[in-house]
Amino acid sequence: MLKTILKIVGALFILILIALFAIPYFFEDQIKAKIAEAINEKVDAKITFNGADLSLLKSFPSATVTLDSLIVINKAPFEGDTLVSLGEITLNMSIKELFKGKNEAMSIDGITSKNGLINIIFNTEGIGNYDIALKNNETKSNGKSEPLSLKIKNYKIENFKFRYFDESSKIKMLIDSLNHEGVGDFAAQKLDLVTKSTAKVSLNMDKVNYMKNVALSLDAILGIDLEKSKYTFKDNKALINQLPLEFDGFIQLVEAGQEYDLKFKTPTSSFKNFLGVIPATYAASLDNVKTTGDFTIVGFAKGLYSDTTIPKFNVDITSKNASFKYPDLPKTVQNIIIDTKIINETGILNDTYVNIDQLSFRIDQDVFNAKAKISNVTENAYVDAALKGTINLANLTKAYPVKLDKPLSGILKADVTTKFDMQSVEKSQYEKINNAGTMSLSGFKYADENGKTMNISTALVQFNPSQVNLKQFNATTGKSDISITGILDNFYGFIFRNQELKGNFNMNSQQLAVDDFMTTGDTKPSENKKAEAMKIPAFLNCTLTAKATTVLYDNLTLKDVSGKLIVKDEKVTLENVKTSIFGGTIGVNGAVSTKGKVPIFNMNLNLNQVDIAQSFTQLDMLKKIAPIAGIINGKLNSTIKLNGNLDATEFTPDLKSLTGDLLGQLLSTTINATNSTLLTALSSNIKFIDLGKINLNDIKAAITFKDGKVNVRPFDIKYKDIKATVGGTHGFDQSMNYNLKFDVPAKYLGSEANALIARLTPAEATKVESIPITALIVGNFTNPKITTDINSAVTTLTTKLVNQQKDRLVKQGTSALTDLINKNKKPGDTTKTVIPKTKEEVKAKVNEEVKKKASDVLNGFFNKKKKPVDTTKTN
């Protein structure tokens, strides 16, 4: 019997499980339709969601409906803006709600949502994008019952982001990492809602940041009167960072806006309350911190928040003769006095004012005081402030556990007063800005996360009515030392309005290493990651007149550097920059810009008397343009115009992108032909020139380059009375295609050819031209291939010479022919000379003797010097 009962119970249990899995499939479409209908009945916006999933197991015995990716998109005048985006929203309801009829409303007991965004925007006309509810006369229900009924007992949102932007007032607020939940019976008209909330808040007004990631939390019981829309604070505890606050009073929604009657205060007067205000990034544990004195915040807000008014309020922040000391640190901060009030007495936002009547503290013997008044906050904020005192920066980390990678050191002194309004700052109306006093920093030492150090021995700033004068700035970093003086024109515009930092400066340095000022990434070298791309700051708009005895850049050492640098719009323009290098001087005019994705540059270089061996060895750019290092010794005058891309991290030219031209003149030069495979091969093919004795002085050449290709325009070289014209192209990859044209006088053909010329009459000799010889050079600089037309050129000229003699001999007859035959005989030849008798026999004999003489001339020319190496074919 018992077994039978157990079998029946087991079977029923299995049937129930099967039902719990199966039932949702019968109701999903119905629920999805009701949700879509409920949304469309209420809002004028584009609503989408991926689907509705029903589960009876997640929260049994309740049913759970989950909507994925619910998105609300605005219509005009905010067409296309996202109002709400919910990654997931879950509705809890009783299972019996699933069995209600088509025209019956489903009751929702609980709502949970995750990963949401709420984006509230007010345009310049004061219209908000959240007002998407259909008006009563626009609803589509036509008297039908509501498809969904909210009888919520609990709700919860996780990881929400709330954005608020008012285009007219330029107020931006971001509530991030928002988590909130509430439990209460909303079916009742009056209820107590138990809530828990945490968030991080950032606030900007115009371009000024007032809060950044301030941590807030609130655990509160809210008394809610749904009929009167009134929310009353009962038991509650709030934290701003670690500062505790308690609230008393209510907020009520009325037709014109919200009515406030709130009071708030710190529940205790311990000075630990002040330490709790410090943002979490810089905060430390307050356990075992010894404090004296008090710190209190007391305030109220009372009145209507509407389109034109805000509640009147008063916030009083006070501390008297307080101190604190952390247990593990040697220094105590003493004599702390804070007297600050934030007040609005009219309900008009612009009438809010802030009075910091006193803010002072002491560490050891160093006392620091500040006071300020800020008024007219929204229309044209006016600031009247004063700073006076001394801070030993090393004592900051000895008194408060500041989280720094490297300790600070140095003495900061200030005695400054300032009065200004924001409109004068924005419009650069310096005459309305009143500054006075000085600020100095000495003995400052700082090391960044990559180990680069900056030591400022002295910095002195003088505040004048219209300018900030950098009277002195002496610093060292790495291998560099710098000394700067100058004027800042719009210091406050830069600080308060994110405007450009304008100024004119003079800099002097004994040694400046460019690497010391390169921007690098925050990764360690062992991580094998590239450094960050170097960027010229967009906020800089200044001129720097610089002089440096030595500048170290890449592998170069530049001496006596001077010139002007103009920094503006992420671009540095160089004017009349001069330096001594490579035994001569280089002048530079041009610009470097990092505004685009890839840094670019354009430069005009003027090289004067620079050493060829040094410059064409140490500069990759010149080495690629003209690979003559080690081959030509001497000096060079040149003008180079070039542009291209820069490597983003090293700031060196990307040779593949180079475009430009070069005009050069060689001075006091000699050639080392043995150092060049190309010249050695050329010497083997051209016997009539000794390349080591060519005079290149005053040779001028014009070169253009683009896309890794160099084009050398034809230029002339003289060797004795031989003229050569050189031109062609080569690539940065060392490939080449050159054409050498020689104009060689016939006398270089040797004694045999000269003997022929000597036999010509003066009139015939003048008709003998020089030989045009062409050499083609291809391949590359380490493995050149050379072809010449010397054979055909010499043969042509020799034939021309002997033909002239032939014509004369035929005319002169047999006696002249006999002389030619006898002269053509080799020593020891005793063969009897046979003299032809007829004209035809004379011509035949002349042709025979001419061919013999031509053969002798060619043999004499090509065999007068033995080729050391001859691996190329001549035509």
Task: Measure the CA–CA gap between 853 and 860, rounded to whole angstroms.
Answer: 10
In Å, what is the CA distance from 706 to each residue of 589, 593, 664? Answer: 20, 20, 18
**675-to-298, 424, 633, 678 alpha-carbon distances in Å:** 88, 70, 11, 9
Q: Which of 37-41, 375-379, 592-596, 705-709 has the least mean pLDDT?
A: 37-41
* 3-state SS, residue 564: strand
Is the bond preceding 61 in cis, omega lying within 30 degrees of 0?
yes
List, as own/partner pairs, every contact residues 92-99 make where C-beta atoms lie below 8 angstroms and the sequence separation is at least 24, other chains included.
92/59, 92/62, 92/63, 92/64, 93/62, 93/63, 93/65, 94/61, 94/62, 94/63, 95/56, 95/61, 95/62, 95/63, 97/63, 98/23, 98/27, 98/30, 98/31, 98/54, 98/63
pLDDT of residue 687: 73
> Which structure tokens are listed for 595?
């505004």
Provide the pLDDT for residue 8: 43
- Evaluate whether 608 touches 581 at the Cβ level (below 8 Å): no
Give whole-number Cα distances, 251 to 111, 217, 271, 301, in Å.
24, 18, 30, 10
> Taking 60 as the threshold, does the pLDDT of residue 142 lie above it?
no
The whole-angstrom separation of Cα 420 and Cα 384 is 7
Tell me the mean pLDDT in the region 624-639.
Answer: 81
CA distance 729 to 711: 4
What are the backbone angles phi and psi of residue 450, rounded to the nearest 5°? -95, 5
Residue spans per domain, the chain: 753-862
Of 20-34, 235-249, 305-319, minimum mean pLDDT range: 20-34
Count of other CB atoms within 10 angstroms of residue 300: 19
The answer to whether 520 and 481 are in contact (CB under 8 A) is: no
Confidence of residue 724 (pLDDT cuts 50, 70, 90): confident
Question: Per-residue pLDDT for 390 more than 80?
Answer: yes
pLDDT in tens, 414-428: 999 999 888 887 777
CA-wise closest residue to 183 among 62, 63, 92, 64: 92
Closest CA to 612 of 598, 623, 624: 623
Compute CA distances 144 → 100, 103, 149, 486, whole Å: 15, 8, 13, 78
Predicted TM-score (pTM) of the model is: 0.65
Q: What is the pLDDT of residue 20?
A: 39
Radius of gyration of the chain (CA): 47
For residue 43, give the DSSP letter.
Answer: B
Is residue 131 packed enough to be buried (19+ CB in 10 Å), middle (13-18) or exposed (0-12)? exposed
Please give the Cα distance from 860 to 870 (Å, whole number).
18
What is the residue-wise DSSP string for 144-211?
Answer: PPPSEEEEEEEEEEEEEEEEEEETTTTEEEEEEEEEEEEE--TTSSEEEEEEEEEEEEEEEETTEEEE
pLDDT, tens digit, for every residue of 62-73?
777 787 888 888
Q: What is the DSSP letter of 746?
A: G
Angle at 605 between CA 599 and CA 609, to 5 degrees: 145
> Closest by alpha carbon to 70, among 89, 98, 95?
89
The yes-or-no verdict on residue 800 having pLDDT over 90 is: no
Q: Could you report the per-residue pLDDT of 670-696, keeping only the tens digit for each?
A: 777 777 777 777 777 777 777 777 777
Closest-CA residue to 91 (of 141, 154, 147) = 154
Q: What is the per-residue DSSP string for 764-790?
A: HHTT-PPEEEEEEEEEETTEEEEEE-H
Mean pLDDT of 212-237: 89
The chain-wide mean pLDDT, for the chain, equals: 79
Place of tokens 């709130």: 262
Q: Per-residue pLDDT averaged across 699-719, rounded?
A: 87
Distances (CA, A) of 612 to 39, 99, 232, 639, 660: 81, 96, 87, 14, 20
Coil, strand or helix at 693: helix
Res 359 pLDDT > 90: yes
The per-residue DSSP string of 624-687 comes to HH---TTTEEEEEEEEEEEEEEB-TTT--B-GGG-EEEEEEEEEEEEE-GGG-HHHHHHHHH-T
pLDDT of residue 765: 64
Please report the pLDDT score of residue 545 as a whole number. Answer: 95
Task: Evaluate if residue 637 carries a pLDDT over 70.
Answer: yes
- Give alpha helix (H) positions in 484-540: 491-497
Strand 51-55 and strand 46-48: pairing?
A: unpaired
Mean pLDDT on 695-718: 86
d(CA 154, CA 286): 35
In 3-state terms, what secondary structure has residue 870? coil
* pLDDT score, position 90: 82
CB atoms within 10 A of CB 394: 15
| Residue 823 pLDDT exceeds 60 | no
pLDDT at 666 over 60: yes
Query: Does 333 have pLDDT greater than 60?
Result: yes
Lookup: tokens for 488: 């800042």
Q: Is the pLDDT of residue 525 over 60?
A: no
CA–CA dist 71, 80 (Å, integer): 11
pLDDT higher at 70 or 249:
249
Q: Which residue has the higher pLDDT, 734 or 352?
A: 352
